[in-house]
Amino acid sequence: MVREEILVDARGHRCPVPTLRLRRALADAPVGARVRLLADDPLARIDVPHFLAEIGAELLDSAEADGTFSFLVAKP
């Protein structure tokens, strides 16, 4: 079964907004959901992994292309 991703596009916003939007999306998502965050604030590279470790969420994938950071997260 392929799960659809929930997309959170926080490009154009500075931290902590991307992490706050990710937090809200994860809170609203069912257990096991996959949420992809897009952010272009370089601080997201630090903030997002710290936030995920704090809540026990799994970072499935992360990438950077053309100044945009992509984080794929599984809700615990």
Catalytic residue among 11, 15, 29, 33: 15
Would you call 15 a catalytic residue per the annotation?
Answer: yes
Residue 63 pLDDT > 90, yes or no?
yes
Dist CA 31 CA 50 (whole Å): 20
SS3 assignment, position 19: helix
Name the pLDDT band for 2 (thresholds 50, 70, 90): low
Q: Report helix, strand or coil for 69.
A: strand
> Is the model's pLDDT at 1 over the cut of 60?
no
Cα gap 68→58, rounded to integer Å: 20
pLDDT tens for 3-61 read 689 999 999 999 999 999 999 999 999 999 999 999 999 999 999 999 999 999 999 99
Give the CA distances from residue 22 to residues 28, 36, 50, 52, 76, in Å, rounded to whole numbers and listed in that order.
10, 8, 13, 10, 13
Domains for the chain: give ranges and CATH numbers: 5-74 (3.30.110.40)
pLDDT score for 36: 98
pTM: 0.93
